[in-house]
Amino acid sequence: RGLGGNEPAREIDVMALLESLQSDNEAMGRQVTVAGRASAPYVGVVSLLKRCLSNLVDNAVLYGERVTIQVEDSAQCLTLRFLDEGPGIPPDQLEAVFEPFHRLESSRSRATGGTGLGLTIARNIAQAHGGDITLRNRPDRGLEAVLTLPRPPLRQQSR
């Protein structure tokens, strides 16, 4: 099905969105920590951005037990790093997991895995905002999913 997101782009309080996701996950007994701050609102489609962030958090807590979201912000780019403590992903599968229906785990149980669309959808949303998602295994343990969202240049003010 389509991504939806038919509403127009608007300023989004990223920290409020992250804190809401953190609270919702804590209510389900999941450990989600947010570190850092966005220095300004991000202009995007709120329903899509929320879905993207939710998919990244869901993957991190499903496969990595807990997640820390590191927020880094600059005039050029908003970067969110989702750091989990799971087993990581085989290096030859780091890009393949973005393909629709690609799953690393072969059971059909919802308790142990989804449909293989979460990362596909998250990346499509990031790209629709001019950004991307990349994955890398952390040196000691776990996976790092990096969501990069560019900030448009400030418009020249006319006189």
What percentage of the chain reaches a pLDDT higher than 70? 82
pLDDT tens string 47-97? 999 999 999 999 999 888 899 999 999 999 999 999 999 988 889 888 878
Q: Which of 104, 114, 136, 138 is nearest to 54 (CA)?
A: 114
C-alpha span between 49 and 147 (Å, rounded): 11
pLDDT at residue 156 in the model? 42
Residues facing 72 on adjacent strands: 79
More confident residue, 128 or 107: 128
CA distances 128 to 99, 131, 139, 148, Å, are 16, 7, 30, 12
Residue 44 backbone phi and psi in degrees, to 5: -170, -175
Give pLDDT tens digits for 20-50: 999 999 999 999 999 999 999 999 999 999 9
- The Cα–Cα gap between 132 and 152 comes to 15
Predicted confidence at residue 1, as pLDDT, reads 47
| Element counts in the chain: helices (H) and strands (E) | 3, 7
Q: Which two tokens stand for residue 106?
A: 């072969």
